[in-house]
């Protein structure tokens, strides 16, 4: 089951040509991941500030399919395609009115911020992630 989020393309997202400046897609992707973790009961404040964990992106592959313009709404979707002991692979898509704009493969790792090393996903988080497996 995919996790979905709709985001508007704002003025701050576009370049002088009126299309999304590609780094802004990465900020939207991070917002998608952050909102997904929050729905799993692990908001980033809890993870990073209180839990002293991180979820850094260690791999990111992106295909840009078509430009997005100011005023459009983008439908973002995230599915877990692999779930390991301390990592997960996500398939992410951005679309507008059914037209694919971006496809991404993202690998996140659960990290102990103090040790600066990978650690296993907390079991309750892992269980929630499994509900979004493709």
- Give tens-digit pLDDT for 102-126: 999 999 999 999 999 999 999 999 9
d(CA 2, CA 134): 8
Asked if 89 and 107 touch (Cβ cutoff 8 Å), the reply is yes
Asked if 88 and 95 touch (Cβ cutoff 8 Å), the reply is no
State pLDDT tens for residues 16-75.
999 999 999 999 999 999 999 999 999 999 999 999 999 999 999 999 999 999 999 999
Q: How many CB atoms lie within 10 A of CB 12?
A: 9
Produce one character per residue of 40-64: b if its CB has 16 or more CB atoms within 10 Å, e if not: bebebeebeeeeebbbeeeeeebee
pTM to 2 decimal places? 0.95
Q: What is the predicted pLDDT for the residue at 134? A: 83
Q: What is the predicted pLDDT for the residue at 77? A: 98
* Whether pLDDT at 1 is above 90: no
Residues 64-92, mean pLDDT to the nearest whole number: 98
Q: Which of 50, 45, 43, 53 is nearest to 113 (CA)?
A: 53
CATH class of 3-130: alpha beta
């Amino acid at each position: 089951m995919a996790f979905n989020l709709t985001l508007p393309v704002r003025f701050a997202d576009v370049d002088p040509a009126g299309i999304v400046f590609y780094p802004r897609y990465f900020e939207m992707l991070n917002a998608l991941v952050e909102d997904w973790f929050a729905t799993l009961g692990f908001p980033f404040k809890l993870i990073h500030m209180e839990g002293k964990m991180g979820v850094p992106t260690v791999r990111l592959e992106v295909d840009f399919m078509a430009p997005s313009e100011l005023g459009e709404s983008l439908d973002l979707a995230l599915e877990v395609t692999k779930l390991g002991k301390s990592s997960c692979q996500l398939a992410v898509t951005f679309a507008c009115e059914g037209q694919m704009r971006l496809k991404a493969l993202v690998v996140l790792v659960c990290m102990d911020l103090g040790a600066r090393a990978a650690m296993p996903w907390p079991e309750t988080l892992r269980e929630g992630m499994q509900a979004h497996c493709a």
